[in-house]
Structure 1
């Protein structure tokens, strides 16, 4: 489940287990301090964090491009100076004298042609359709890609002669010399068969929407086909008209049928299509497809339905014949990520695996033979950032410093000469490395301290230029009474050490007794996506806006605490997979242990401990309020799963197996089963247009609470999705949440 907390882009990171101070404001006269308001946090740009928008590396690592006032401008990397306008806004005129309202762009391989997007329409989390235009920099000619309707994921062939795209569940190729459009597939049907794009569950859980890929020599196009004809439909009503509209889409809930997925190649010159052999078992996943450095070999990753066996297949693009070159298994599940990389020369590839208990890097020959394990240790790689074929260095971010940190390292393929590229210290480094690894864009933040974006040398980490230091935001924050965010650890009654943080009021008095609001997510991470709420970044592991809301509550006399339970990332396979086949059990125990620990502190009012969370955190809150009813006085559950039988196949079965195989794992930790235990005050929040965690979850919980004759409050947002956002929505939501805390804790 890719439950995301819409966090400030790229602000992760960490500190060790010792108690450490967060951001300390510059002392000002007391009368100058300003009170935090919900309007400042959610409606005004008061605390807007500045970033470096539109930074796109160009082929020559000396330059990057960006859209500025409608112009596509080239900048020198080391100085940031604009050196030339690649495409002027005045050149982007369509018939009738109208200028394109550009919202995105991409170059072809030699950067002489540009695909511009306009009028983009989001579909789900990653999917979208748009109108595409091709601009030839040599002729200064702008041409509409297709007049047949909006397109999806338009992509240049490597030689720049063609563009592939999707429309109406089919794949098309346009020859740019003639603008002739050729249908690669013609059998696509909505809610039945998809070519070239991912279905809902692949998009959400495997993290991609585009499902076609050009071969390195531009001669072939590989593409996915999803036969979702047997997948049950979910009917989501859309409110507002006299009669609500039905929106029906294919959504495979746990234990139900998935799409049958196949992969084919299309030879452009002959229009010949060849289906790749992915095995006789239709009930499986194909989570990744990519071309190797050899243009006739396609790499396909195959995953069984229980997701505990991953195979890398190499397919002959001309014949469809495949062979398994690597098999990775795990007693629980195997992580899917984007770390597989085929190295220049076409003889080797690198791949990450948890086979020794931590996510580490392995080097293989093309036939799959293991050359060596490149990285080792009780820490895990979170992302592969780049590879330099000349030096042989792999660049990666990892938790080597601490489970709460993410820093950049390099190592050679021999497994030697490892070096930390990040500057010494705490906090998080989020890296965007140039293709040639000469430079990287680094976004660094630490607890309560806004991000600093800098340009650095790839091999040394040496600062080239600070691009954005958020000085304005720092000055703004200094005007408010912000408490310290302090990291700490404690041991549970089972002897498990858990990481946590606490925000205290700026005028904290250890002689007083304070109520506590705990913030929880608690769910497993997926691939390189961290769901930790205890990290040394600007928000402490949450969005900066949530950090400021927590500060607002601290200003009103509350302690705010977050505890990282078992089942979360950063601490290796055993810690994360301890919850396998029994989601909710250990997590609830650990959150309860957190409440018990806090109750022993002399400045905590143990009768006034509350908890809140969103998505998986809403699930955890619902369990805490029912299974740990004696510990929590109040809870706010936002967009919660309340019965895993209602959630999708890929996410749920990864952690619980199917409901047919493991019914107890689904039922014994469903809040619906424990509604009768509720004692404290509960606020249940959900968007009725949530295509991810369906409104059905809250309906089931509400029904159980009614049957148990329990009092509770609900707050539903018409047509809002899982983010519950748009217009005044967030301001309204957090005002209701604030009032609920003040009135009930």
Structure 2
């Protein structure tokens, strides 16, 4: 959990919980897991590889009081057979073994996905947060999940992935409200988990705007404001410093597509970065990571000189620590 007090983990496709990390007492939060068929807290093959890009679908709330879980039912997903040849020097693998994997293809059944949340004060009951089928149909995909203050946010898409809705759910009442809907008639919706403030009053999204991937802010009732300029392709949101209202992101300008730099509220933060160990050669390809309070950042330059990392104080851009 974020507070470092408790632990949730998956074993044999079921979710277990320890209220105290070092305790040997574990609580089974699910019991219906079946390896290869029913997945709780961990994605099946298609969701791991094509949607979430991770092997975990468990999300603690910031204070550790609630746990959200995505589960996947592959019962109706068709099986794909393949051979495992093993080590050619091992006598046990003189003949290949046949393995089966539930693998959905075009026009076949996808896994059935469920999003649930539990108040960990009562570990006997999960609450379902249903997909908005009226918007994304019964054949839908769960795209991303994130906590927004004490609420849970989720992006649901139709199977074609050209229609998506971002829902904000009250985990106590299980009532969900659509924050924004996106329709891409000439393509598909590219998934990015939104960045929201701790209170959940403001959220930042990445999305297409007239052919450019831009950051837009969702604030209040259906109020959208673009936070990055036109003719820039934003590749990632690096962070948001609430105390100073500074939004950091990585972007590629149309005028210099061979470069990649980090920006703060539209101003380039790394364009002046120079390699102090290579005759002050300019950096053309930068990435960045921040300390927890945004007081320092580590800037990595990956070209054209050999890669190097330098640490700076954010306030005055003073170089603090040497190259690694």
TM-score range, shorter chain: 0.7 to 0.9
- The equivalent of 1:325 in structure 2 is 179
Counterpart contact for 1:457–1:464, Cα < 8 Å: yes
- Are 1:342 and 2:188 counterparts? no
Residue of structure 2 aligned with 1:431, choices 288, 291, 298: 288
| Contact in 2 for aligned 1:191/1:229 (Cα 8 Å) | no
Which residue does 1:265 correspond to in 2?
117
Residue number in structure 2 paired with 1:211: 57
Q: Hey, what does 2:96 align to over in structure 1?
A: 244
Query: 2:147: which partner in 1?
Result: 291
CA deviation after TM superposition for structure 1 residue 460, in Å: 4.8
Corresponding residue for 1:228? 74
Deviation at 1:183, TM superposition (A): 0.7
TM-score, normalised with respect to structure 2 = 0.87
Q: 1:399 aligns with which of 252, 255, 258?
A: 252
Contact 2:192/2:205 (<8 A) preserved: no
Does the 8 Å contact 2:143/2:157 carry over to 1? yes
Distance 1:442 1:178 in 2: 40
Select which of 298, 301, 305 maps to 1:441. Answer: 298
- Name the residue aligned to 1:647: none
Look up the match of 1:167: 11
**Deviation, structure 1 residue 428:** 0.7
* Native 8 Å contact 1:387 1:393 kept in 2: yes
Task: Indicate the structure with greater helix content.
Answer: 1
Equivalent-residue separation in structure 2 for 1:273 and 1:344 (angstroms): 24
The 8 Å contact of residues 148 and 199 in structure 2, kept in 1 or not, is answered as no
Tell me the SS of whatever aligns to 1:256: coil
- With over 3 angstroms needed to count, the CA separation of the structure-2 counterparts of 1:402 and 1:196, relative to structure 1, is same
| Contact 1:383/1:398 (<8 A) preserved | yes
Query: Structure 1 residue 426: deviation in Å?
Result: 4.7
1:125-172 Cα shifts (integer Å, max 9, x gaps): xxxxxxxxxxxxxxxxxxxxxxxxxxxxxxxx2333321011111111
Q: Residue 279 of structure 2 aligns with which residue? A: none
Matches within 5 A, 1:734-745: none
Contact 2:73 2:113 in 1 (8 A): yes
1:191 is aligned, of 24, 36, 39, to: 36
Structure holding more strand per residue: 2
Of 276-285 and 376-385, deviating more is 276-285
Match of 1:300 in 2: 154
Bigger RCO of structures 1 and 2 (CA < 8 A, at least 6 apart): 1
Aligned pair count reads: 301
User: Contact 1:364 / 1:372 at 8 angstroms: preserved in 2?
Assistant: yes
CA distance in structure 1 between the aligned counterparts of 2:19 and 2:207, rounded to whole angstroms: 41
**Kept in 2: contact 1:386–1:435 (CA 8 A):** no
Residue deviations 1:525-559, cap 9 Å, x none? xxxxxxxxxxxxxxxxxxxxxxxxxxxxxxxxxxx
> Residues of 1 paired with 2:315 and 2:208: CA distance?
27
Structure 1-normalised TM-score? 0.39
Distance 2:167 2:243 in 1: 28
**How much has 1:318 moved relative to structure 2?**
2.0
Who is 2:276 aligned against?
none
Counting only pairs closer than 5 Å after superposition, residues 510-589 of structure 1 correspond to structure 2 as none
Match of 2:90 in 1: none
| Distance in 1 of aligned mates of 2:219 and 2:39 | 34
Distance 2:15 2:147 in 1: 18
| RMSD (Å), alpha carbons | 1.8
In the TM superposition, what is the alpha-carbon distance from 1:436 to its structure 2 partner? Answer: 1.7
Deviation of residue 258 (structure 1)?
1.1
Displacement of 1:366 after TM fit?
4.5
For the structure 1 residues 458 and 202, does the alpha-carbon distance in structure 2 shift closer, same or farther, using more than 3 Å as the test? farther
1:254 paired residue number? 106
Deviation at 1:440, TM superposition (A): 1.8
Match of residue 275, structure 1, among 128, 153, 156: 128
- Report the Cα offset of residue 343 of structure 1: 1.0
1:463-482 residue pairs with structure 2 within 5 A? Answer: 463-468=319-324
Distance 1:366 1:212, change over 3 A: farther
Structure 1 runs not aligned, ≥5 long: 1-156, 412-417, 469-745
What's the CA shift for 1:349?
A: 1.2
The gaps in structure 2 that reach 5 residues or longer are 87-92, 273-281
Give, in angstroms, the shift of residue 462 of structure 1. 3.6
1:422 and 2:248 are equivalent in the alignment: no
1:727 aligns with: none
Corresponding residue for 2:278?
none
Q: Distance in 2 between matches of 1:312 and 1:432?
A: 27
Alignment of 1:5-404 (within 5 A): 157-176=1-20, 178-206=23-51, 207-240=53-86, 241-271=93-123, 272-280=125-133, 281-293=137-149, 295=150, 297-331=151-185, 332-338=187-193, 340-367=194-221, 369-400=222-253, 402-404=256-258
- Indicate if the aligned counterparts of 1:224 and 1:263 stay in contact, CA closer than 8 A: yes
Q: CA deviation at 1:315?
A: 1.1
SS of the residue corresponding to residue 334 of structure 1 reads coil
Instruction: Mark the structure with the bigger radius of gyration.
Output: 1
Residue 341 of structure 1, CA deviation: 1.1
